[in-house]
């Protein structure tokens, strides 16, 4: 998701299309992660890792979560979901890592996109159900926002005839940002599982317990 953001900022997706077509075009000015305001909605392990990368490269990072907590070191500002409408207009990049719950369904709709900067990028690496895809397509086509990057869609696989595929400023990958595409992920999962087995046998607290009603860690 981080690579997708930088690709869109530098318009590399457009130049990639030109390579396929054998065209030599200059698409003008680009943006940078440095000094950008990056808002991350969903501050679990993935969101915090993304925040750390963005902050290390000079971004001003805003985190949004459901419950109050201390502000983590990877984040410059921490807000609750009820504050999100105030944050949208000042964000250069909005990244979502939300699960599929009744609360998150179509959270990102026409009203949400209308509050974004026209130069802003929207990224979704959580679940496709959080996005009203028709509203997103319309926002990009009408230049209400600059671009979008999706690793998740609704449904999956996204049908080949779906108009999202045709929009030049929407990048789509087939839900490959997670799972075992990075080999070391399996090692980390095994380490967590092994530690939890040991904790269970010794009566210690387990890690990463999921609340199945909300889809979040307890």
Rounded to 10°, the helix 12-21/2-9 angle is 70
Residue 1: half-sphere exposure toward Cβ, Cα within 13 Å: 27
Q: Alpha helix (H) ranges present in the chain?
A: 2-9, 12-21, 45-56, 84-87, 110-114, 133-141, 184-202
Clarify whether 79 is annotated catalytic: no
- 101-108's contacts with Cβ under 8 Å and 24+ in sequence apart are 101/214, 101/215, 103/214, 104/129, 104/130, 104/215, 105/129, 105/130, 106/130, 106/131, 106/132, 107/131, 108/132, 108/135, 108/136
Clarify whether 67 is annotated catalytic: no
> Of the listed 23, 111, 156, 191, which one is catalytic?
156
Clarify whether 162 is annotated catalytic: no
DSSP 125: -
DSSP 165: G
- Residues belonging to the active site: 127, 156, 175
């Amino acid at each position: 998701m981080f690579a997708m953001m930088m690709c869109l900022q530098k318009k590399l997706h457009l130049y990639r299309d030109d390579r396929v077509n054998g065209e030599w075009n200059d698409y003008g000015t680009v943006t940078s992660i440095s000094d950008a305001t990056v808002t991350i909605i969903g501050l679990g392990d993935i969101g915090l890792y993304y925040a750390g990368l963005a902050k290390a490269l000079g971004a001003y990072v805003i985190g949004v979560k459901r419950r109050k907590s201390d502000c983590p070191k990877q984040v410059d500002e921490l807000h609750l979901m009820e504050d999100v409408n105030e944050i949208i207009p000042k964000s250069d990049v909005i990244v979502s890592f939300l699960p599929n719950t009744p609360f998150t369904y179509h959270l990102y709709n026409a009203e949400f996109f209308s509050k974004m900067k026209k130069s802003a990028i929207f990224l979704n690496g959580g679940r496709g159900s959080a996005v009203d895809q028709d509203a997103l397509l319309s926002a990009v086509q009408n230049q209400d926002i600059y671009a979008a990057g999706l690793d998740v869609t609704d449904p999956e696989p996204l049908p080949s005839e779906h108009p999202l595929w045709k929009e030049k400023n929407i990048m789509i990958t087939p839900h490959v940002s997670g799972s075992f595409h990075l080999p070391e992920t399996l090692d980390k999962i095994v380490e967590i599982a092994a530690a939890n087995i040991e904790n269970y046998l010794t009566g210690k607290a387990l890690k990463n317990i999921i609340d199945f009603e909300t889809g979040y860690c307890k």
